[in-house]
Amino acid sequence: MSLKYSILGLLHYQPMHGYRIKEHIEQNFGHMWSINYGQIYPNLKKMKDEALISMNEEICQGEKGPPRKLYTITDKGRAEFQRWLAESPERGMLLRDPFLMRFVFFDFGEDERSLELVDEQIQSWENQLARRYANLARWEGAGVYVRLMAELGVKTNEVLLAWLKEARQEIAAEAGLESRENVTAFLKTE
Amino acid sequence: MSLKYSILGLLHYQPMHGYRIKEHIEQNFGHMWSINYGQIYPNLKKMKDEALISMNEEICQGEKGPPRKLYTITDKGRAEFQRWLAESPERGMLLRDPFLMRFVFFDFGEDERSLELVDEQIQSWENQLARRYANLARWEGAGVYVRLMAELGVKTNEVLLAWLKEARQEIAAEAGLESRENVTAFLKTE
DNA sequence: CCTCTCATGTAAGACGTTACATGATTCA
DNA sequence: TGAATCATGTAACGTCTTACATGAGAGG
């Protein structure tokens, strides 16, 4: 389980409560982790029991909002994190994408519907790319590694998009379907 | 659960038994799916019960090797697959990589150890790239989508590698560490 | 005969998701 | 007062991993 280590890593920046941790992970590791309360709270409890983090119940300390539990990383937590960080990473990359999962089987589907799904995906990845540019700007002043990571996010997204747009052309040609733009151009010259 | 649909997709090519399905998924979707027998056999059983696939126990039909169970996709299975294939994909991409997971926290680690891990990863991704080039060649005659998918595999891998090599330079500079090559070069001119 | 690979399977437990329950604070 | 948001939590369920058990055939 490496959600544990994501949490320990995050707590290096500042003490946080569960709700905030979830927000951070969703914003910063959203493409790596899909997180939910059913994971976060039991994990925090377990990590507290193992003394990797400590909790102090700040009831309305900041005066605003409902009572929350602030978690701080302990020395034991830091040590455990360092041990993990210096380890050679285990098994390889997992890239699981529901679109790509289907794409690889589009040879067995209807080309017209495939093109629709491709267009939806182009839109979706364009939105994602915009969000990643925003991230890049937001982490301008952060550490080297965080910045490099944000750059990777942009780069992989750009490759994905470029590939899918090229693919679209090829699929449309193969299927004998014209893109809306080409059809319009054709009608104009007619 | 979309392992189900991967299996239904694979069975469009030819009838297969569990062991072979696992091999295929590992080779062709290895970067998407990590699969094991604890998943494959219960799934096949369940899918057979739902009549999405049918099984005939070919005991030494091919004469070679131990008895195996050949699964064939049924019409119901094809219909279910078509329904899934034409659906708009659900939630987005999940890219979970144990190296990248650590990388984003290297600001809290020792630069020297980080560089070692980066070098290990460059090696690992170079090996992976070689395998993906091989895949690309192997699927020359396959359908458009399969070929495009293989091309994406190569492209993303290339971006990852290029990024990590650039990152390595930056990290080494930042840490004031020379690469072994540079040190050697220095000693030679001395 | 012994070992390796091919092949099928199960059981226990770790991990993840969904849905729900609870309650405080904020703002209209 | 009622709705939205912030915040914590749990229970049930589903999925995935690990480890093990079994056994046939191939080749030295």
- State whether the beta carbon of B40 lies below 7 angstroms from any atom of strand D: no
- Give the per-residue SS3 of chain A: CCHHHHHHHHCCCCCECHHHHHHHHHHHCCCCCCCCHHHHHHHHHHHHHCCCEEEEEECCCCCCCCCEEEEEECHHHHHHHHHHHHCCCCCCCEEECHHHHHHCCHHHCCHHHHHHHHHHHHHHHHHHHHHHHHHHHHCCCCCHHHHHHHHHHHHHHHHHHHHHHHHHHHHHHHCCCCCHHHHHHHHHHC
Contact A108 B6 (CB under 8 A): no
pLDDT for A13: 95
pLDDT for A108: 96
CA angle A127, A130, A135 (to 5 degrees): 130
Indicate the length of chain A as a whole number. Answer: 190
Fold of A3-86: Arc Repressor Mutant, subunit A (1.10.10)
Higher pLDDT, B12 or A175: B12
Residue nearest to nucleotide C14 (CA to C1'): A1
- Tell me if A78 sits within 8 A of B127, measured CB to CB: no
CA angle A8, A12, A13 (to 5 degrees): 130
Protein CA A146 to sugar C1' C12 (Å): 39
> The whole model's pTM is what?
0.87
CA dihedral A80, A81, A86, A87 (to 10 degrees): 70
- State whether the beta carbon of B19 lies below 7 angstroms from any atom of strand C: yes
Residue whose pair of structure tokens reads 């980066």 in the numeric block: B118
What is the domain partition of chain B in residue ranges?
3-86, 98-189
DSSP structural state of residue B177: P
Nucleotides of D under 7 A from a protein CB: 6-12, 14-20, 23-26
pLDDT tens digits, A78-109: 999 999 999 999 877 888 899 999 999 999 99
| pLDDT cut 90: percent of chain A above it | 66
pLDDT for B175: 75
pLDDT tens digits, B90-135: 877 888 899 999 999 999 999 999 999 999 999 999 999 998 998 8
